[in-house]
Amino acid sequence: MGRPSTIDIMAACESYWRSTNVPEEVIPELRTQLVERMQRGRGPRANARDPRRVAEALASRHRVPPPPTPFESPATRANRGWFDLLPAYGWLAPILVATGLLMLFGPKEAIVDDTELWRWLWLGIAVVLGIGEMVTSGFFMLPFAIGAGIAALLAWAGVSLPIQLVAFIVTSVVALLGLRRFAWSDREPSYPVGSKRFVNASAVVLDTIDPIAGQGRVRLGSETWGATTDTGSNIPPGTQVRVVEVRGTRLVVEPRP
């Protein structure tokens, strides 16, 4: 069985690119780079049994890399088991334990009328702040609502007012830190995708970059890229350059200072 012709190889590569969701506007330049590789003896004809390897080597530069960590929405987080939620809400456990101990063994208020007043006051503060959190969001009022709720529990148990105030302050601070950390971890990470991940990367010029002739190659990591420049002058081999942008399948570079 003879080797496939150049036309067959090109057709196979183009079919592979389209089937793997390579942007249509990129395919013409990939075809040009493929021809250049074949002329240098590095293309699919050098490995005719599996020309897709070279096709993938060219197309992989346009794949979207996976995010560094998977994003988990609040809805998804809410559906997880209680055990998985412990890192997010574990700070609440010692507060509840301390509240229970204070309700049982804390010093009691001698004047019942004052206790009755603070019961409803703390409860009212907790309700108002809780409603305010639902209206505004952002986890700013919720920690103080939790603190007021804990103080209300202590007031209903007859614990003295100074203990209620301390519990309100401590609980509010701990809840603020815990909820802020949880809210920050729920933000979707931002990271460069596709060819943008090469911007500001360093490369080395292999072949003279001639912007007028449209020629030039650089080595970026373990890959060889076609390159051009908007500086208006040639860049000789061996020059350290910085990637400014990716234009089609060519890197736009400039010499590093």
**pLDDT above 50: residue 113:** yes
How many alpha carbons lie under 13 Å from residue 39 in its C-beta half-sphere?
6
Q: What pLDDT, on the 0 to 100 scale, is given for residue 67? A: 44
Predicted pLDDT at 69: 44
pLDDT on residue 108:
67
Longest dimension (CA), the chain: 102
pLDDT greater at residue 2 or residue 16:
16
Residues in the chain: 257
- Rounded Cα distance, 208 and 211, in Å: 10
Average pLDDT over residues 67-85: 48
Which helix (H) or strand (E) covers residue 205, if one does? strand 202-210
DSSP assignments along 132-152, one per residue: HHHHH-SSSSHHHHHHHHHHH
Complete DSSP assignment for 28-53:
HHHHHHHHHHHHTT-SGGGGTT-THH
Average pLDDT, the chain: 73
Q: Match 């990367």 to its residue by tokens.
A: 201
More confident residue, 254 or 29: 254
| For range 91-107, the mean pLDDT | 70
What residues contact 176, with CB distance under 8 A and at least 6 apart? 139, 143, 144
Determine the 3-state secondary structure of 107 from DSSP. coil
Other beta carbons less than 10 A from residue 144's beta carbon: 23
Per-residue confidence (pLDDT) for residue 81, from 0 to 100:
47
The structure's pTM equals: 0.38
Per-range mean pLDDT, top range of 40-44, 63-67, 68-72, 118-122: 118-122
Condensed to tens digits (0 to 9), the pLDDT of residues 118-139 reads 888 888 888 988 888 788 766 6
24, burial (CB in 10 Å: exposed 0-12, middle 13-18, buried 19+):
exposed
Asked if 85 contacts 77 with a C-beta cutoff of 8 angstroms, the reply is yes
Place of tokens 């401590």: 170
Tell which wins on pLDDT, 84 or 152. Answer: 152
